[in-house]
Structure 1
Amino acid sequence: MMGLVGTLVGRQAELEALEALLRATHEAGTGTFALVAGDPGIGKSTLSASLAQAAEEAGWTVLAGRAAEFERELPFGALVDALDAHVAGLDRTRLARMGVERLEELAAILPSLEAHATPTAGDRHATHRALRELLEGVAATRPLLLVLDDLHWADPATVDVLAALARRPPAARVLVLGGHRPSAQLAPLVSAVQALERGTLVRLAPLSRDDAAALLGPEVTPAERDAILRAAGGNPFFLEQLARAPVAAGAGTAGPAGVPPGVAAAIREELEALADGTRAFLHGAAVAGEPFDLVLAAAAAQITQGAATAAVDEAIAAGVVQEADAPGRFAFRHPLVRRAVYEAAGAGWRLGAHDRLRRALEALGADVTLIAHHAEGAAAVGDDEAIDVLVAAADRVAARAPDSAAHWYGAALRLLTDVTGERRRDLLAKRGAALLTGGHLEEAREVLLEADAGTLDATVGLAQVETWLGLDDEARARLERAIARLGEDEHRARAALELQLVVLHELNLRTHEAGAAARRALAAAEAAEDPVVLGAVRALFADVLSQSDPQGAAEILEAAMEAFARCEDAELAPWLQSIWALGWAATHIERYDDGAALFDRGLRIARLAGDPGMAATLQVDRALCALRAGNLRECWTLIDDGVEAARLAPSRRYLWWALFGQALSLGRSGDEGRARAALAECEAVAKTLPPHPHVTLWTGYVRAFVLAGLGDLAAAFEGLEALAGGEGLPLVQNADRHYARLIAINAALGRGDLDEAEHWAAEGEDWAAESGLVGQRGWALRGRAIVTAAQGDLAAAAERAIASGEAFASVGIVLEAERSRLLAGGCLAAAGRRDDAVKLLLAAEQALYDAGAERDRAVAVRELRRLGRRVAPRAAAEPAAGAAGGAADGLAPLSAREREVASLVAEGRTNREVAETLFLSQKTVETHLRNIFAKLGVTSRTGVAAAVERGRHEAALAGSSSAG
């Protein structure tokens, strides 16, 4: 047998890049990702092993796992392989000291924590947070390198959680290194890693002929060398295999895709050279899993423990298998070797081996998901025990790994002999729900249609799916048919179906029809004499009414809240839409604390009920409630989680809405770069959704909001008018018109149309008076102040702006109160009342800084500067080492990273030098520069340098003034 040189050859540049990333991760103190992609055998695992060795030598903790080809349905397989043994050695006290507290969520991933599992449905997003928390805990004392190989075989739940971690990396020194073959299913993960500042993608190409030749050992003759090099094509594993068992380059039949026939033949020849007993053992090992347990491999192969020990020793000596990290566990040299052994075992023999493993695992009390894998591999039609195992496994993982659950429900369905009974309908309904949770809408609808027994839940569920798919006419017809079939005394069902019609009509902006359906639902609920149903319908009715009659909505809201307060959470689980509606009714009538409490309760219920769509919506709307109340920092804390949760929701409509909220909140804060990015993604997602007036309107609304914040008022208003029904914005309802009016007023003044501005100001005053809402009075007064200032009466404008601020403050809308005071300060300054203006602007600057409204604070600073008053420098919200002029007023609009880039540009560094210094890609540096140009109002690198110098000078002056 010929061997290879035992060193890494031809990959030094890639290894150096990964080692640099290792060092950068250590220095930055925050996590990141690297992905190594390439064809089978190209050297991904060898490169990863080399980095792991370097990390261990540098004092890192290294944990490694891999996904397996024949166990793709096992949820979180690669993560279990990497983390479970490590966590099993930590007791609860140790985990708590590490900051790991979400054990019930981690128990959904790691079998070693099964004792902490809870029977609740769970929440995928919460599981993702728990895993991030675990990685941060592991890395608290020593940095962590998590190596995950063969991710092209990872189950969708693993891809989801890794993509979530890449979008929001652990706040600790964690480097996740993933190896994979090119695979479309990894697109979300690859995109997330590409977006990371330090994220790294490595694509391994075939070795050059010289490197490939250097990899072969000296015992290879020149003739053999040439034959091997031709057959291997620069692939290190193919070189290794041909060197181990050389055959003619074209010999044998083809192996797996991409494997030359000669290589496949070489693997088979190598295996045939083993003793019969060793081959039999390896057949069992290939079925037992990867890595495999010695005891289970022996059970699968039907040999004694002693025979298995002898066989594994021979297999190790032959280089076919190797020891894994855990005692008693082993792995094949390469997945292609396992595949060859698995296929050589024969299909019939594998059936028996899977059955033996199923029995062995049951006797050991193993996790039901492991048993299910082998039950599926062995069961025949009519095997009720296997069906029970498959259903139990699917039930266990349905909330957190819905694709695996759908797979196992489907396997159970294939084993049923009764093709028309109740059990089949139940399994179809479960499979449809799992497909829906996994986001497979079309397939879910087909399965749910097959399962449809005409029940209320089935009808409502199908109508929701059809709505998400854009099949509004089908959804409406389904609901109306169901209502027509109801008996006169089926009031509860009638109320529920009418409520779903309300939602459908609102989505299509059919306000009149929504109101009519709401009234029918209310009549049915009153007739039902069920307090829960009555409360649920009143909740939705209160939201509908809040758009036109806030006082009437307040009365209904009180009754609904009282009813909900008497209900247990479980009673309200079927009525999450109503809790959501009541939260918005409270928010619309400026009862923000009540709105927040309702959204919080609904979110808790949605998570316990395993409803990812409503959980995401309630999280986002809780954030938007905080935004309406002017609590920016609270909003940011909530909205990012809402976006991540929405990425896991069944319909992309939820992600669209979450991104809407994110763009809105970032636009309000003044973070231009992130606001534009969120808006762009929101618009991109909207284009993938079925056309709905609701989506079109609110996508246009947030675009107008962001553009207005950037000063492009004309474009903001034109775009909003085009999407909101034309002149007068008829599609924007009263509860949401306040900011649209301000855009309209400012746009009109920008084109010199004072009459149009007056019209919009008067409309705001009329609605404020009609609604009786104090916050709406604040908006109306601000609009009037803007118009009055344009008319030249600055003193009156200042008075109205001050009154606006007082109105906002009285109902707790802090941010808008300060914005109105900022307007008042500007009017006073323009009127020559310097002392009054300075006093007001200083107070507004402090409050805006506290709120995190950086752009508005910068406006206050500029006004104060014009009045000759310097403001003490403020620390950056996210301080970063080396940030240029981090406290300089002139650079206030820049993020911490943008300040770093600006500082290096001011030093004369090229984009490439900036990228190398900050461990960024040149493309990322270019993106930062575009944002810096826009925020500073400059068009060149010279302009950036000048702005940095001004900022440093101003900071120095402010510092000396403060010292004096």
Structure 2
Amino acid sequence: MMLVERAHAHVIDNAIESARTGHPTVLVIEGVAGTGKSTLMTQICGRARGYLSRTAEGDDGEHGSPFQTLESWGVTVARGSNGASPTSFVVAQQLRELVDDLGTSGPVLLQLDDLQWADPESVQALTWLLERVAGDRLLVVVGTRPLAPRDHDAWQRFIASSNTVHTLALNGLSNDLATELIQGVHPGVSNDVAHYLWEHTGGNPLYLTSLLRGHDLPELSRMRVLPAPAEFARTLSARVERLSDAAVRLLRAAAVLGQSWMALPEVALVAHVATPTDAAAELAAHELLLQRATNPGLSVRLPHALIRAAVYQYIPLPERRQLHLWAAEVVDDESAALEHRLAAAEQFDDVLADELERFARARHAHREHRVAAQHYRWSSRVTSNSLLRNRRWLDGLFESVLAGDIALAQDELAENPHSRDHVRRALVTGAIEVFASNWRSALQNFAPVANEETDSLTRYRLEVLTGWSQLGSGGETQDVVRALSIATSQGQQDGSLDGFVSFTLGMIGGRTGSTTALAETFASLPKIASATPIELTYLLAWRGMIFLRRGFHEEAIADLTEVDRRIQDGFPDISDGRFMASLAAALLSSGQVPLADAKMRVALDSARNTNNPLLQTLAAWVPIALGDMERANEHLLNATEWLRRMPWPEAFETLLVAQVMQLHLSEDHGARARLLGDHRRMFGRRTLDPEGSMNPFWILHAAMACVWSNELESAAGLLAQIQHDALTPEWIHAGERWVNGLIAEARGNDSHALALFDEADTNWPDPGHLYLAHMHFDRVRVAERLGEQHAATTSRAIARDIYEKAGALGYLARLGESEEASTAQASLTMLSDRERDVVALLATGHSYVQIARDLYISRSTVGFHLSNIYAKTGTSNRHELIDLVRT
């Protein structure tokens, strides 16, 4: 029977047609248990004719693995070589590929019931898909109970802010629909009795149906007081008592096994029913069991979670315990078997506790931290020794932190303010601060237990996170080294912290290692990035970031592109977007500004916590080149405020580089002259005295800042260090002549300055390098003062050509030639950020598939953006568009 409110039917049909015409749409069906969400979703599927559908359900069991919900849709989740789960941002790409594949045959319907029970990783990936999708013939229908404020918070923010989302709140059937339902079961019932039943049940269809099935019409008509909603379980129990013994045993076994579809022989084995087909048919006839044909055999499930809960509640405790023990022997999932044994436990069971802990450790090794956390908690629950019980509970909280369930860990700590294991508690509280990038607060938690005894694994974890926090908060390098030294002396390691260790070691190596030592470390990796073994990926990322800092931009691009590819394929990204941001910065410096902009946007989108000074300073580079000073200033302000509290040497470098980039573009002579003074007031000696060896790329910018402050000797001294640095790219040596030319200009010797600029031009290895254009811009100024008009004109033309090819709109405007920019540049200014990203990748030869992969969007979304781009630029195909861009 189709029971759909007229207003709801209108919304549903509009959503179906909107999605069919290429406007991705989300329908959220929200209501408390029993209000008909699942039934309505089934009816929506029937109305969505011509759609290719996939269905999934949240699992109210607590042993579900990450991305289990998406795998029900048919998403293939690519895991690391050690079985580690990728990030939700990466899996969102695999979900997009599924949508693309299905979409070749028609519009796509993805249904997810009981979202409140779905694994958080799947919901996060779905959210990322929906935030970036456009032009796809996609309808997503979600059924959910009202969510608590902290449940699936990213999803809740999305549905609250997106204009593609339509929410249908189910508060029960209307009087007319309830009457229709009642008369369908008991024809001839009076309107007065129907209204009485509707009013009593509040229109809750499940409760109403239960009353109708549990009582005949005369009985309902005679009742002066109908059963209250709290009596639902008793009403259902009364219905169950009228069933055969085999049907009751099969129903109870199904309730014990769970809410998902189960093979009938498996349920029968738990129920000890030899011939279950008749029992299953009896239950189906009483609407207490759903059946579906599978290959081979038959699968069954209970119709609703409320029915399962009601049946489970009335199973006698000894029988329930025995059913759980039988279920533990039948199910083939180890976690589910352990959960059944836990449900059967009547007292502390140290053997079971040990097995649960062993399973938790195995899940930890596979980076399934949320699953590990749950099993540690279960282990704690049946552990007899109070100290061990507390330790296992704290180990579970540490896993929750690693899984990103920070709020859950904070709530449990607040509910249990005292712990006998002070070191483990300090580890958990400090880890919470680490994952929020509150590194000083983390250190305040770690410091009091620095000398307390604990097991080697806990000490390893604490010292690794201490070293990381020292690094992030601007601590002394020797303190970082000491913490890592203590960690490595424990004889224990934790693979989940490998990224922290590798990254910290890389940063320390960059600070303290000589150029010879760096070169030797680089030599330990294959020269070709793709040949690097998977276990050395973090070291490859570190090499790429060192290449960036030292000015080897092409080499940095090669390394970090390979790291980016591996992350897309499922390798864990512990950098929280910084690897991709570094790739974007290298692309920018090599003269690929639009591509850098696209990558930087993805880096910021994928970062769980963008409140990081290195990420913020790198993020400022691209908008500077594009002339978007408002966006650049926002990033620089965030980074500056952070660094005032926690001075991070590597972030100081990128901050000064960004500020010099910005001031070189603006030519605000007052701001230029104040730059070093402002830095010294905020950051003291660190301004021109970085820890460890100076990076030549930073030296160019620092020397330029010295020139602007008229500290010419300091500028010359900085540049002199480049000459003795064995790990310096050729263009930096040419750039040294350029900045020396600026020193000569500041001393009033324009002729010498022009000669040095000419030497820089002659020795510059890459004729399209962005910094070569910067040099030529300065050469224009000096040549014009000397009356060398031909030289000035030539330099202006070279700078303009490089800036145009690089897509550096801000620098073109600085040349005073924004009005002379090509038609392509004028057209590009009308495009949205995402459209410019698509153009940037298209112009570099990317296919639709590659664009979709790099921008984490679907192929249909690429096509949608291209249609808009063609309309805005007056082109009709990719070849015309590329020609226009390159004009």
TM-score, reference length from structure 1 = 0.65
- Do the aligned partners of 2:584 and 2:599 also contact (CA within 8 Å) in 1? yes
Flag the 1:204–1:221 CA change in 2: closer, same or farther, 3 A: same
- Would the aligned equivalents of 2:15 and 2:25 in 1 still touch at CA under 8 Å? no
Q: Is the 8 A contact 2:65 2:119 kept in 1?
A: yes
Aligned: 1:331 with 2:301: yes
Specify the SS of the correspondent of 2:84. coil
The residue aligned with 1:322 is 290
Counterparts of 1:79-228 in structure 2, within 5 Å, are: 79-83=70-74, 104=79, 119-125=82-88, 126-169=90-133, 173-183=137-147, 184=149, 185-193=151-159, 198-204=164-170, 209=175, 217=183, 219=187, 220-228=189-197
Q: 1:770 aligns with which of 714, 721, 731?
A: 721
Q: Measured at CA, do residues 631 and 210 of structure 1 come closer, stay the same or move farther in structure 2, by a change above 3 Å?
A: same
Instruction: Please report how far the alpha carbon of residue 227 of structure 1 lies from its aligned counterpart in structure 2 after TM superposition.
Output: 1.3
Question: Is the Cα–Cα contact under 8 Å of residues 213 and 225 in structure 1 kept in the other structure?
Answer: yes
Q: How does 1:670-685 map to 2 (within 5 A)?
A: 670=626, 672=628, 675=631, 679=635
- Correspondence for 1:285: 254
Matches within 5 A, 1:396-435: 396=363, 399-417=366-384, 431=396, 434-435=399-400
User: 8 Å contact 2:20–2:138 — kept in the other structure?
Assistant: no
**Distance change >3 Å, CA 601–CA 697, structure 1 → 2:** same
**CA RMSD in angstroms, aligned pairs only:** 6.3
Is the Cα contact below 8 Å between 1:11 and 1:47 reproduced in 2? no
The residue correspondences of 1:668-747 to structure 2 (distance < 5 A) are 668=624, 670=626, 672=628, 675=631, 679=635, 692-694=646-648, 724=679, 726=681, 730-732=685-687
- Greater shift in the superposed pair: 700-709 or 553-562: 700-709
3-state SS in 2 of match to 1:439: coil
Aligned length: 803
C-alpha contact 2:703 2:719 (8 A) present in aligned 1 = no
Q: What SS does the aligned partner of 2:28 have?
A: strand
Q: Distance in 2 between matches of 1:601 and 1:592?
A: 14
Structure 1 residue 191: Cα displacement: 2.3
Task: Give the secondary structure class of the aligned counterpart of 1:613.
Answer: coil
User: In structure 2, how many angstroms separate the alpha carbons of the residues matched to 1:301 and 1:713?
Assistant: 82
Paired residues for 1:742-821 under 5 Å: 757-759=708-710, 764=715, 766-772=717-723, 810=765, 814-821=769-776
Is 2:624–2:662's contact at 8 Å kept on the other side of the alignment? no
Provide the C-alpha distance between the structure 2 equivalents of 1:404 and 1:950, rounded to a whole number of angstroms: 50
Does residue 311 of the first structure (1) align with residue 279 of the second (2)? yes
Q: Do structure 1's residue 508 and structure 2's residue 508 form an aligned pair?
A: no
Contact 2:57 2:113 in 1 (8 A): yes
Aligned partners of 1:172 and 1:669: how far apart in 2?
A: 33
Cα distance change, pair 340–429 in 1 and its aligned pair in 2 (3 A)? closer
Q: Of 49, 56, 60, which residue of structure 2 is paired with 1:65?
A: 56
Q: Residue 437 of structure 1 is aligned with which of 386, 397, 402?
A: 402
- Return closer, same or farther for 1:792/1:198 CA change in 2, 3 Å cut-off: farther
Note the C-alpha offset of 1:600: 7.6
CA shift for structure 1 position 393: 6.6
Distance 1:459 1:12 in 2: 50
Indicate the SS of the match to 1:179: strand
Contact 2:348 2:383 survives alignment (8 Å):
yes
Q: Is the 8 A contact 2:547 2:556 kept in 1?
A: yes
Matched, 1:660 2:616: yes
Within 2, Cα distance between the matches of 1:770 and 1:279?
85
Equivalent position of 1:112 in the other structure: none
Query: Are 2:330 and 1:367 aligned?
Result: no
Equivalent in the alignment of 1:388 = 355
Letter in structure 2 aligned against 1:18: A
Which one has more relative contact order, counting CA pairs under 8 Å at least 6 apart? 2
**8 Å Cα contact 1:145-1:177 kept in structure 2:** yes
SS at match of 1:319: coil
Asked if residue 350 in structure 1 is aligned to residue 325 in structure 2, the reply is no
1-structure distance, mates of 2:460, 2:242: 74
Deviations 1:218-258 (A, max 9, x none): 734211222133234354545555555576696445xxxxx
The equivalent of 1:913 in structure 2 is none
Structure 1 369/381 Cα, relative in aligned 2: closer, same or farther at 3 Å? Answer: same
Look up the equivalent residue of 1:68 and give its one-letter code: D
Letter in 2 for 1:317: A
Asked if 2 retains the 8 angstrom alpha-carbon contact of 1:557 and 1:582, the reply is no
1:109 corresponds in structure 2 to none
Q: Is the 8 A contact 2:324 2:343 kept in 1?
A: yes
TM-score (norm 2): 0.70
Partner Cα separation in structure 1 for residue 697 and residue 224 of structure 2: 76
Corresponding letter in the other structure for 2:719: A
The residue number in structure 1 matching 2:30 is 37
Task: Write the deviation string for residues 579-619 of structure 1: whole angstroms up to 9, x where unpaired.
Answer: 77665444333344665677689889999998653575545
CA-CA distance at 1:63 after TM superposition: 1.0
Please give the alpha-carbon distance, in whole angstroms, between the structure 2 residues aligned to 1:494 and 1:11: 58
Contact 2:577 2:615 in 1 (8 A): no
Q: 1:891 aligns with which of 823, 829, 854?
A: 829
1:367 Cα deviation after fit: 3.4
1-structure distance, mates of 2:443, 2:604? 30
Matched residue type, 1:186: H
The superposition leaves residues 627-680 of structure 1 with CA deviations (integer Å, 9 ceiling, x where unpaired) of 555554665675566556642xxxx4x764685267335424539599579959
Alignment of 1:436-585 (within 5 A): 436-440=401-405, 443=409, 470-471=440-441, 473-474=443-444, 477=447, 481=451, 504-510=469-475, 513-514=476-477, 541-545=508-512, 553-562=514-523, 584-585=545-546
Question: Residue deviations 1:422-446, cap 9 Å, x none?
Answer: xx89967864652332135694998
- In structure 1, what is the Cα distance between the partners aligned to 2:156 and 2:640? 18
Cα drift, residue 153 of structure 1:
1.5
Identity of aligned residues (%): 17
Q: Deviations over 1:739-764 (max 9, x none)?
A: 99989999xxxxxxxx9945378755
Q: Which residue, out of 19, 36, 54, partners 1:22?
A: 19
Report the secondary structure of 1:64's partner residue: strand
Distance (Å, rounded) in 2 between the aligned partners of 1:347 and 1:686: 60
Q: Structure 2: how far apart are the matches of 1:412 and 1:642?
A: 38
Unmatched runs of 5 consecutive residues or more in structure 1: 88-99, 106-117, 254-259, 546-551, 747-754, 875-886, 901-947, 953-957
Note the C-alpha offset of 1:64.
0.7
**More divergent stretch after superposition (277-286 vs 707-716):** 707-716
The match for 2:47 is 54
Secondary structure at the aligned position of 2:514 is classed as helix
SS at match of 2:551: coil
Distance 1:6 1:525 in 2: 65
Is the alpha carbon distance of 1:537 and 1:168 closer, same or farther for their aligned partners in structure 2, counting shifts above 3 Å?
closer
Query: Per-residue deviation at 1:818?
Result: 3.6
Tell whether the 8 Å contact from 1:206 to 1:235 is kept in structure 2 after alignment: yes
Which residue is equivalent to 2:878?
none
For the 8 Å contact 1:72–1:153, the answer to whether it is kept is no
User: 1:552-599 deviations in whole A, cap 9, x for unaligned?
Assistant: 831231243346779xx9x99999998776654443333446656776
1:287–1:353 CA contact under 8 A, matched in 2: yes
